[in-house]
Amino acid sequence: MPRKVMKWLAPLLFVLTSLAWPAFGSAQTTTANAISMGLRVFADGREFKNETRVFVGKSQCTSGVNFAFTASGYGMAVPVLELWASSSAGKDCSDAANRSSPNNQPPVCWLVASETNVQPATSTTLKAEAIELFSQDGKACDEVTNLPYYAYLVPLASPTQPGTAMAPPAITGVTILRAVFTLYTQTPKAPTAVSGRSGETTLGISWKKASGADVNTSYRIYYDVGQGEGDAGVECGSGGLVAGQDPKDNDTIDYKVEKTEGGSISGSLVEIGDLVAVGVVTVDGGGNRSALSEIVCIEREQTDGFYDRYERANGNGLEKCSLHAPGKASWSGWGSLTMLALALVARRRRTT
Amino acid sequence: MRRVSQLALFCLTLLSALSMEAQSVRARAPDTFEEMHATPTTIDSPYWYAFEFKLGPYSPAGGNSAFRDTFGDDRGWLVALELDFTLWHIPYVGTINAGAGWGWANYDAKAFNAAGARSGEKTEFTIYPLSALAVLRVDALARLTGVPLLFAGKVGYEFVRWSAETGGKSDASGLNKGLRWGAQVGLELDFFEPDAARTLDQEYGINHTFLFFEFFRSQTKATGDRSFAIGFGAIF
């Protein structure tokens, strides 16, 4: 039996290892003769968990938020570490040509910050304001939307001189670190076709995503249970929700975050018979918020599930019991099955 | 009957003798084309188990109109597994087995509100049939004549664990019991690729594989139904 298992296992392991190897290669920056560096990206002191997908909202882009790129490496000292930025994946700043200024033309990439004499086994931080990173290509923060920007930490033997026809190449064998930013600078649109579904334990809400939504879009369902004059446009709620206005997050209006189109709120939050005003706000990957969608009224009401109807129709076929209440359950069946299984195992052992 | 047994014994003895003779003949180097290319003797590995994966429509009787009112014509998909253990090999007939089955089926619909209309809340009914079976498998046709048909008859007791919930909240759960029986006809797949079938047996101990159609009836109260399933099976 072990031979048979090995016969399967060995090629399986080989295939899995082969498939996984490139992934290991890209994730691990250490090679035998290279200097390894790691990158951490911060914005106003808050670290992004994944430096390859940093989402930046309009407020961060325009308000001069400070980004910090902390590189840590070991192996040998790097004379100069420069922070370069570009606005397109095709403009690779690790390529010296894109950092060069032939005929005194501005380089494709732009230099943001630099640090000299980077020692091994230490952390080096290069700082830059958002405006320096994202607006050097002539586009203001309110003009671009959902565009990727790239920041490169390039190790060099000597600093790049402005206007140099041919920029110095990166030191070979040293990892060039890159962070990818996605700028969300447009106000997202509110969801459309909002509708509600009544229920007893859950109140369902569905909507259609507005154009421009992507995989990083999330939604906030705002609901208002008050007994006041009603929210704008509907005769329910306490007046805290107004369609077309951002309700913000406050203590009086509750919300729930959903990642997909459609969601629900728990019926236990309201009494049976209560009307709930519900609206939805789109939040894009950069944290920009849309106005509140149209508002709908949903009632929490008593519902009849299958078993309620079954009982009301004098059903007596289903034998009710609970595994959590063994006193009420019939264990004879389970016991029989267990005995049968044991008998089979015993017989099998005798015959082999 | 006694005469038949004696005849069968004689035939077996004769076959054995011939077989031993053939083995001794093969002990020398082949000296004719026919001998060189003679089909090698193949021996099935012993088999003790049968496994089945099957699915088919299934709609619990419900006990009253509530099931039909709520779930309409939802026939679900009953997905089931069965494992049989051979208790006795019956010469020229097949095997008698003890089997255990497990299945799953789920039915869902929108619950009703007070006005009798469908609300936005989902109500569900889930069943897990567990069965203990005596199974007679008849493979005489396939073994003795080469016609790749298998037959099986099953009878046993079924325990159906069920649960009902609405809006993600459990309403009730329980266990129903009753008789279960079924009849199966299967198409043995060995004849498609006899060599592959042999290799499967020699390498992994899987003697035969088959596709089957099974008609069955569960007589558990409220959760029973008369239906069919199609599936894939293996004897090993």
Give the span between the Cα atoms of A71 and A126, in whole angstroms: 8
Give the span between the Cα atoms of A179 and A56, in whole angstroms: 12
DSSP B5: H
Under 8 Å between Cβ of A17 and A157: no
Q: What are the C-alpha distances in Å from A335 to residues A329, A331, A339, A341?
A: 12, 6, 6, 10
Number of A/B CB contacts below 8 angstroms equals 160
CB neighbours of residue A213 within 10 Å: 19
For residue B174, give the nearest of A305, A320, A343 by CB distance: A320
Residue A319 identity (one-letter amino acid): E
CB proximity A318 to B under 8 Å: yes
pLDDT for res B56: 96
Alpha helices in chain A (DSSP H): 2-27, 58-62, 130-134, 306-312, 332-351
pLDDT for res A14: 54
Q: Is pLDDT above 90 for A142?
A: no
Q: What is the distance in angstroms between the Cα of B90 and the nearest Cα belonging to chain A?
A: 17
CA atoms within 13 A on the CB side of A65: 19
CB contact under 8 A, A267 and B125: no
CB proximity A199 to B under 8 Å: yes
Contacts of A342 (CB under 8 A, 6+ apart): none
Under 8 Å between Cβ of B59 and B225: yes
Q: What is the distance in angstroms between the Cα of A15 and the nearest Cα belonging to chain B?
A: 21
pLDDT for res B35: 60
Tens of pLDDT along B32-90?
666 656 555 556 677 889 999 999 999 987 777 888 889 988 888 999 999 999 999 99
Most A CBs within 10 Å, among B64, B87, B127, B218, to test the A interface: B64
Give the span between the Cα atoms of A79 and B39, in whole angstroms: 77
Under 8 Å between Cβ of A299 and B119: no
Strand order in the sheet with A122-129: A46-47, A36-43, A66-74, A122-129
Chain A residues inside the 8 Å CB shell of B132 = 336-337, 340
Residues in A 221-280 with any Cβ partner in B closer than 8 A:
267
Q: Is pLDDT above 90 for A34?
A: no
CB proximity A325 to B under 8 Å: no
CB contact under 8 A, A306 and B98: no
Under 8 Å between Cβ of B110 and B128: no
DSSP B17: H
**Where is pLDDT greater, at A125 or A29?**
A125
Structure tokens at A229: 């004059």
Chain B residues inside the 8 Å CB shell of A348 = 48, 85
Confidence (pTM): 0.58
pLDDT for res A66: 77
Residues in A 161-180 with any Cβ partner in B closer than 8 A:
none
**Where is pLDDT greater, at A304 or A25?**
A304
Q: Is pLDDT above 90 for A51?
A: no
Q: What is the distance in angstroms between the Cα of A225 and the nearest Cα belonging to chain B?
A: 19
| Residue of chain B with shortest Cα separation from A263 | B120
Q: Which residue in the block uniquely carries the two structure tokens 């309201």? A: A270
Most B CBs within 10 Å, among A310, A320, A348, to test the B interface: A310
- Given the DSSP bridges, would you call strands A78-86 and A202-208 parallel, antiparallel or unpaired? unpaired
Q: Is pLDDT above 50 for B16?
A: no
Select the highest-mean-pLDDT range: A93-97, A180-184, A246-250: A93-97
Mean pLDDT to the nearest integer, B149-172: 92
Chain A residues inside the 8 Å CB shell of B112 = 303-304, 309
Give the span between the Cα atoms of B106 and B108, in whole angstroms: 7
Most B CBs within 10 Å, among A3, A269, A307, to test the B interface: A307
Q: What are the C-alpha distances in Å from A3 to residues A7, B62, B205?
A: 6, 51, 13
**Where is pLDDT greater, at A261 or A276?**
A276
Q: What is the distance in angstroms between the Cα of B135 and the nearest Cα belonging to chain A?
A: 14
Question: Is the ipTM above a cut-off of 0.90?
Answer: no
Q: What is the distance in angstroms between the Cα of B54 and the nearest Cα belonging to chain A?
A: 21
SS3 at position A15: helix
**Where is pLDDT greater, at A291 or B64?**
A291
Looking at the DSSP bridge assignments, the partners of residue A254 are A223
Tens of pLDDT along A178-190?
888 888 888 889 9
Sign of CA dihedral B214, B215, B217, B222: positive
Q: What are the C-alpha distances in Å from B56 to residues A145, B83, B111, B210, B226?
A: 51, 18, 26, 17, 11
User: Residue B183 — pLDDT band, cuts 50, 70, 90?
Assistant: very high
For residue B114, give the nearest of A302, A306, A317 by CB distance: A302
* Tally of residues, chain A: 352
For residue A319, give the nearest of B111, B165, B175 by CB distance: B175
Of A208, A173, A204, whose CA–CA distance to A192 is shortest? A208
